[in-house]
Chains A and B, each alone.
Chain A
Amino acid sequence: MTATLPLIPESPTLQPRGWLRLLSFSLDHKVIGLQYLICGFLFYLIGGALAGVIRTELASPISDFVSRETYNQVLTLHGTVMIFLWIVPVVNGAFGNYLIPFYVGARDMAFPRLNAVAFWMIPPAGLLLISSYFIGGSAQSGWTAYPPLSITTPAMGQVIWILSVLLLGGSSIFGAINFIATVLKLRRPGLKLMQLPMYCWAMLGTSILVVLSTPVLAGTLILLSFDIIAHTGFFNPGQGGNVVVYQHLFWFYSHPAVYIMVLPAFGLVSEILPVHARKPLFGYTTMVYSILAIVVLGLVVWAHHMFTSGTPPWMRLFFTIATSFIAVPTGIKFFNWLATLWGGKIALNSAMLFACGFILNFVFGGITGVALAQVPFDIHVHDTYFVVGHFHYIVYGGTVFVIFSSLYHWFPKFSGRMLNDRLGQLHFLLTFVGFNLCFAPQHWLGLMGMPRRVAEYDPQFTLMNQLSSVGALLMAISTIPLLINVIWSLMAGEEAGDNPWNALTPEWLTSSPPPVENWHGEAPLVHEPYGYGVPPGKLDLASTSGRDLWSGGER
């Protein structure tokens, strides 16, 4: 029996239309994805402004631009905003919600209402966090909130910080439950796991990490809030508590958090490279197993953040070895991307440029990561700018570059219009030069011993810091062409058509922007999402669609 889904005629509903949808409690995964994207980008601008304050302060060795307390608040807010309100929501929430239902051939996520709840936890949490600055000062203990610092700094800002992070963690967990259920349970009949686009695997792995590790952070922060509010002594050595336990529990989440930020980027870049190189993704199977290996290893390497916290030798040995092992699956992915590009018909557009920028930056960040895993070296550079440089090469040079790449790649699908590629290339150039100028010198600063999280520094570090600040200025300027591009293209950009890149993944096999039900008819059954370079006759999309959807499933 070939039953088609009932075509739903346009009829009056209570749901707003047009841009007002973006402010509504919409259950449509595409609207929610865009909500995540726009909300995340607004917080990116805030976090960027905070970074601007940091770099302006550090342009001179003395603390002359802001007071030391303000500097500590600013760096705490910068880290928290960028991680919990920009990267995690965008690279997971925005693209995950928009793309995953397409990729599995579904009309929506498994739990649409939970999905909307998860998104709408984010704006209040963000406002809560930012507002703490204006009502008596925000937290000053960095995004790690290590006790005893977090217990001894002013309590109100720290408690608001904890509340905000708890909300964001809850949002993250709800999102992850949705992704796991959607990828595992909502696949279109006939679509096998090993035929899914790579981003599905990345999101599955990421969501497993979220479900296993985020609750531990939540519990830890609840205990920390007890220490602050009720004066218990879990992490307060003055009351017989143990600070190192906090560090273990915190990093049990926060190391996987790095993979929560970067694994989805791996997935996105695996979607973008084949399209613009017109070649199948190299080594699909090894890519999948690499992701799973990173998930497993990512859960057992946390204590490499704590080599100077009095960890016993056996622990150092174990965590050094486990951390170094992560280089293997990551390296496999790196070479697979290179092999995907190798001999391809590369279109060097903005999406491709940012994706290549990602590969370059990420391999550098990866190498300094392996270096940091080695105990003798780590002890030397612990808590110096070397760590700051390494971290930003992973999350900015890695993930944020992929977010920009994805924006250029999927903007035509989101809006029906192309972004201007000239402006995009200018954006890339400014970002790439600015980014490297900003963060490469920090490695030297760290090796020379400049500590992180301090508003003042020894005058011998001035030149390097000023270079870094110039780079930050370039990065700030690079946002201007992006903003102009997005606003101008939304209004007057070139019409994109359904499939401007001639891509094969299912989100392109519908109109731009897609209808509420994703496809007007049946969901296409895409067995080969990367079937580029296959002779035209061999890949028959028309014959694979037209089967009845879900009708074989039990209710």
Chain B
Amino acid sequence: MTTTPGDPTMTTAASPETLAHGSAGLEEHGAGHPDHRMFGLATFLVADGMTFAGFFAAYLTFRAVNPLPAGAVYELELILPTINTALLILSSVTFHRAGKALRSSDRDACRLWLLVTGGLGAAFLAGQMVEYFNLPFGLTDNLFASTFYALTGFHGLHVTLGVICILVVWWQTRAAGRITSTNHFGLEAAELYWHFVDGIWVVLYGILYLL
């Protein structure tokens, strides 16, 4: 484990080298405490979840009080989204396997599972695109069409970001990378985010397609 600047385990009899680090520590003098980045990320995801909650509330209210105008088209098919849901849930499992593999120092397995996860995410996005191109309505056709695209599009952006994160993590887990079996914040953060995005999709699927 590397010693962070300002580490309390360092003694006062600091060598010139640690003093040099110490001056870097001036800029980052919050470093002498435990790592709370996962806590921060979790708090951020609560906030992000509230954005979705607002969208869901808006959609449900529209559903309850705004009738679909006569002649307006708003129909969704179920097969492709259901396959997509299965893909995302599966990708959560594979990401979990990747994390497990890394913690047991099996780098190759970890990188393989990461690629599988990224592939599943990309497949989900491709499926979403196919659905978009085959829907009988456009963004501004009616209220529900707009809401559908806003909700799935906002989620799709999250998935896209997640796939990029997975690829970055995949790159960082190479032999010379910064993510190792003991220092794996990047992977854990991406994993938590990915589970969050999957969870949001399950709710979204339920509200948008099944309800």
Contacts and interface: CB of A to CB of B under 8 A. Distances in A.
Contacts of B57: 248-249
Interface residues of A, number: 66
A8 B53 contact: no
B45 to A, nearest CB: 10
Given A3-B9, A6-B22, A214-B47, A234 B29 contact: no
B50 A213 contact: yes
Nearest to A179: B43
Interface in B128-181: 139-140, 142-143, 146-147, 150, 154
A109 B6 contact: no
Given A13-B23, A555-B1, A181 B43 contact: yes
Nearest to B43: A177
B54 A108 contact: no
B8 A3 contact: yes
Interface centre among B30, B34, B139, B146 (most CB of A within 10 A): B30
Contacts of B33: 106, 110, 186, 550, 553
B12 A108 contact: no
- Sorting the interface of chain B by its residue count into under 10, 10 to 19, 20 to 34 or 35 or more gives 35 or more
A123 interface: no
B18 interface: yes
B43 A3 contact: no
Interface SS of chain A: loop
A533 B30 CA distance: 35
B44 interface: yes
Given A3-B11, A5-B8, A212-B46, A27 B28 contact: yes
A512 B18 CA distance: 28
Contact of A226 (B6, B34, B65, B146): B146
Contact of B58 (A106, A111, A223): A223
A177 B40 contact: yes
Interface in A189-214: 211-214
A230 interface: yes
Contacts of A226: 146, 150
Most buried by A among B11, B29, B57, B150: B29
A111 to B, nearest CB: 6
A398 to B, nearest CB: 26
Contacts of B139: 230, 232
A219 B147 CA distance: 12
Interface stretch (A236-244, A319-327, A350-358, A405-413): A236-244
A287 to B, nearest CB: 24
B156 to A, nearest CB: 14
Contacts of B147: 234
Interface in A240-277: 240-242, 245, 248-249, 252
B158 to A, nearest CB: 13
Interface of B: 1, 6, 8-12, 14, 18-20, 22-30, 32-37, 39-40, 43-44, 46-55, 57-58, 61-62, 65-66, 69, 72, 139-140, 142-143, 146-147, 150, 154
Given A15-B27, A241-B66, A555-B35, 19 more contacts: A8-B29, A12-B23, A27-B27, A106-B30, A110-B36, A110-B40, A112-B29, A173-B44, A181-B36, A185-B39, A186-B33, A214-B47, A215-B48, A216-B51, A219-B51, A241-B143, A245-B61, A548-B8, A555-B1
27 contacts: A11-B20, A11-B26, A13-B26, A13-B27, A15-B26, A27-B30, A109-B30, A110-B33, A110-B36, A111-B40, A113-B28, A176-B47, A180-B43, A186-B36, A211-B46, A215-B50, A216-B51, A216-B53, A222-B150, A233-B146, A245-B62, A249-B54, A517-B26, A549-B32, A550-B33, A550-B34, A555-B34
